[in-house]
Homo-oligomer: A and B are copies of this chain.
């Protein structure tokens, strides 16, 4: 793979990304002055095809990159483009502005990411199981009911209604809350349930009924695979791409996105390669969207306090990888830096 081949492959990818049409030797010779003639480029292209980096949609057409070609481009050739400054500023404003809920911020950030990449943006907040437990409170409401309020490092973790015996005093409720808070504070939410059991046997045997309900709520919350909310913005942009000319393909994409399989994958991937933060690019069949082989996915986790959210862009294989990877990387950095404020110190 000499320098010239690299530059030709680069030209093919970039021109194809731009035009969505197979690119021929002529075009390359003209638009991307390599100082050689079209004939030479034809020879090189034949080589590239043999090596599996490009392919021909049909016998006498130009070349388009293969998955392998894109992969090489992403790994070796592309130039990561930073986010334009106005976007950076906008994200900062969003994160620092007076907003009550993290959710509203994430929603807007997702919209921005979608606009700037011209693709589908997916943002998920931190997963409950990964948060750190802080406190628990049973607030009496009505005669024999209490609202369980569980707080984690990122704010409200979970709430739910609990039936309590009518003769239980507010003071007793408060006592239960305090014991549980003391016992559980600082644990990862995933680890709660075991600990709760021990606690239960010891100090709070009298309130078994209440405890069981609390336990149920917390366990359910920790088990939740997919985060509370998943912000998915830009479907219509994605659909305007020419690759979705035929409707069957399109339906496939939509129904994949509609099932939340995707979110699950996002989490999976990131637990798999737990350690390595950083942007991952899955191209075509590499990606996990089942039969949909025309999409690429650019993915990264981001930090919020001690837990992590996930951030992804889904676009056609034929996307501007330099720009998208740059955008995703920059968004990750921005969010990791700026969302710290949501973590309770």
A: residues with CB less than 8 A from B are 100-101, 134-135, 137, 139, 141-143, 145, 147, 149, 151, 155-156, 159-161, 216-217, 220, 233-236, 239-240, 244-245, 247, 250-251, 254-255, 258, 344-345
A-B contact pairs, 29 of them (CB 8 A): A100-B160, A100-B217, A100-B220, A101-B160, A134-B141, A134-B142, A137-B139, A139-B139, A139-B149, A141-B151, A141-B344, A142-B344, A143-B345, A145-B344, A147-B155, A149-B149, A149-B156, A149-B159, A161-B344, A234-B258, A235-B254, A235-B258, A236-B255, A239-B247, A239-B251, A239-B254, A240-B251, A244-B247, A245-B247
A117 to B147, CA, bound (A): 37
Number of copies: 2
A220 nearest CB neighbor, chain B only = B100
Flag if A147 contacts B149 (CB, 8 Å): yes
A217 to B99, CA, bound (A): 10
A136 nearest CB neighbor, chain B only = B139
Q: A239-B254, A254-B239 are in contact. Are A155 and B151 (CB under 8 A)?
A: no
Q: Chain B contacts of A100 at CB under 8 A?
A: 160, 216-217, 220
Least distance between A5 CB and chain B CB atoms (Å): 37
A108 to B223, CA, bound (A): 18
A44 to B32, CA, bound (A): 68
Flag if B141 contacts A147 (CB, 8 Å): no
A99 nearest CB neighbor, chain B only = B220
Flag if B147 contacts A151 (CB, 8 Å): yes
Least distance between A302 CB and chain B CB atoms (Å): 21
Q: Chain B contacts of A145 at CB under 8 A?
A: 344
A145 nearest CB neighbor, chain B only = B344
A254 nearest CB neighbor, chain B only = B236
Q: Chain B contacts of A155 at CB under 8 A?
A: 147, 159, 161
Least distance between A343 CB and chain B CB atoms (Å): 10
A255 to B238, CA, bound (A): 11
A254 to B236, CA, bound (A): 6
Q: Chain B contacts of A251 at CB under 8 A?
A: 236, 239-240
Q: Chain B contacts of A147 at CB under 8 A?
A: 149, 151, 155-156
Least distance between A183 CB and chain B CB atoms (Å): 16
Q: Chain B contacts of A247 at CB under 8 A?
A: 239, 244-245
Flag if B345 contacts A142 (CB, 8 Å): yes
Task: List 19 additional contacts besides A149-B149, A244-B247; criterion CB under 8 Å.
Answer: A100-B160, A100-B216, A134-B141, A134-B142, A135-B141, A139-B139, A139-B151, A141-B344, A142-B344, A142-B345, A147-B151, A149-B159, A155-B161, A159-B159, A233-B258, A236-B251, A236-B258, A239-B250, A239-B251
